Structure 1
């Protein structure tokens, strides 16, 4: 793969917090003070301060995820309230409550147990809401800025072989159904903990949707692949009852998402890592 080919693929822009805050002031009359970048995240987030001294987090995202976040909070999941949303230069930006805690330095068994408990709280949370179109896993066509297929097709024979497998799995079904609330990016980087390791927040709900909460457990299993049995065994026990068809569809989505993103945004070492993970996990 040449660098010219890499540059031809679309890349997601990083958050331009100073510009966004200026535009928010112009649009809403609210002038927020930038305190600095927030840790983690692929696209970025920033810490901001309101005129009254409150501290919040600025991100790009979907304003329609706010009601889903509220449902999770009402079910006992620590989530941030959306405080302001605005449409800025073609993108939706959200200012949300800043929760206490920091991302864990290393995931451990205690964290996994807490994440399993959070996942349980998401079961059936949308059963009383009219079902929209099922969530697309993008196994046979590109997602909106992620899960792109062409990068895998062109990167290497290995990634092209993975894409063929993803397409084969997609031929048997490409959507996720269910009445659960699904976070869609459920991994330790989107969790905050206090100094004792207690979870104080689950963040980055931008992709939240209706579906099967087991998708989030497959996501967590994908990200933790290669870690100790103490972390993986509880997940594998929970996922043992998931049908091979559903499991492979969710694993194929994660394989596509992570390999595509690493091809377009990271280096060869990252690509090889996610290819290793992807190839190791199909049933």
Structure 2
């Protein structure tokens, strides 16, 4: 457990309740240590009875069958290719939710993505290309350019917040007429590839975590996600320039729907979860590449 992380009592009780549910369902007793840092929201460090450390996660309104068809199929294939994704050590249905216990990978989340680490991230990311070739059984990534996503990519907050966000939503919705509902391709799409979900040690990437939203599609979608992931807190100037150069080379058929999706996702999230003054930062970024 990281001693620098405070584990609020409510979160501990919640994690312990989930660990008890696992014990009741499987007979395996897990010991809760503390919360995971970074992007793994709602995740906790636990120990198996033999002392091995792992990561406990809980996904509501979900089934083991959905997990196996989507994220688990994606990560198992990537692991076959040598990709540093965590192994799934346990998955069980608890009521309407799925609880998982995943391998704890080495390293720490990236707090400052510099150019050296960016190149290492890009090298790892390249292994996602065509990783799911022939796997039509794996669901493709839903862009939600016209309809709402499940708790994110909501259109109504943009329509209501301001004239500027309402116009952004109209532009995004118009793009839905020109692009497929789902992202084409046979790459592995993480869908939330930002520095908080990337682990590193000694200047090398040691893991990519939080694959809950992963699916099949064009793996270059994650380059757009990563570009949004270094904004607005920023990073080295060279990191932004390197990513922008990569996006400049993307076909519009990939860049536009991916950029529209992330513009919707982050602006909606900012409206509902960030201070109001931060919303314009995301609209500024969205307008950089979104077609008129």
TM-score normalized with structure 1 length? 0.88
Q: Secondary structure at the match of 1:210?
A: strand
1:77 aligned partner: 83
Alpha-carbon distance between aligned partners in 2 of 1:119 and 1:191, rounded to the nearest angstrom: 11
Alpha-carbon distance between aligned partners in 1 of 2:262 and 2:133, rounded to the nearest angstrom: 25
Query: Tell me, which stretches of 5 or more residues in structure 1 are unaligned?
Result: 1-13
Alignment RMSD, CA only?
2.0
Quote the offset at 1:129 in angstroms: 1.8
**Bigger mean CA deviation after superposition, 235-244 or 63-72:** 235-244
Contact 1:222 1:251 in 2 (8 A): no
After superposition, the Cα gap between the structure-2 partners of 1:78 and 1:42, relative to the gap in structure 1 and judged at 3 Å, is closer
Alpha-carbon distance between aligned partners in 2 of 1:35 and 1:269, rounded to the nearest angstrom: 36
After superposition, the Cα gap between the structure-2 partners of 1:107 and 1:265, relative to the gap in structure 1 and judged at 3 Å, is same
- Determine if the alignment matches structure 1 residue 50 to structure 2 residue 48: yes
Q: Secondary structure at the match of 2:109?
A: coil
2:192 to 166, 185, 192: 185
Quote the offset at 1:279 in angstroms: 2.1
2:23 aligned partner: 25
TM-score normalized with structure 2 length? 0.86
- Determine if the alignment matches structure 1 residue 250 to structure 2 residue 248: no
- Determine if the alignment matches structure 1 residue 276 to structure 2 residue 284: yes
Quote the offset at 1:228 in angstroms: 3.7
Residue by residue over 1:48-97, the C-alpha shift from the partner in whole angstroms, topping out at 9 and shown as x without a partner, is 01111010001134632223112112222111111111222422121101
Quote the offset at 1:262 in angstroms: 2.1
Alpha-carbon distance between aligned partners in 2 of 1:159 and 1:31, rounded to the nearest angstrom: 48
Give aligned pairs, total. 269
1:205 aligned partner: 211
Quote the offset at 1:269 in angstroms: 3.7
Query: Tell me, which stretches of 5 or more residues in structure 2 are unaligned?
Result: 1-10, 60-65
**Bigger mean CA deviation after superposition, 202-211 or 229-238:** 229-238
Residue by residue over 1:114-164, the C-alpha shift from the partner in whole angstroms, topping out at 9 and shown as x without a partner, is 111112111111113235564320000011121111111112222111111
Q: Within 5 A, what are the aligned runs for 1:116-155?
A: 116-130=122-136, 134-155=140-161
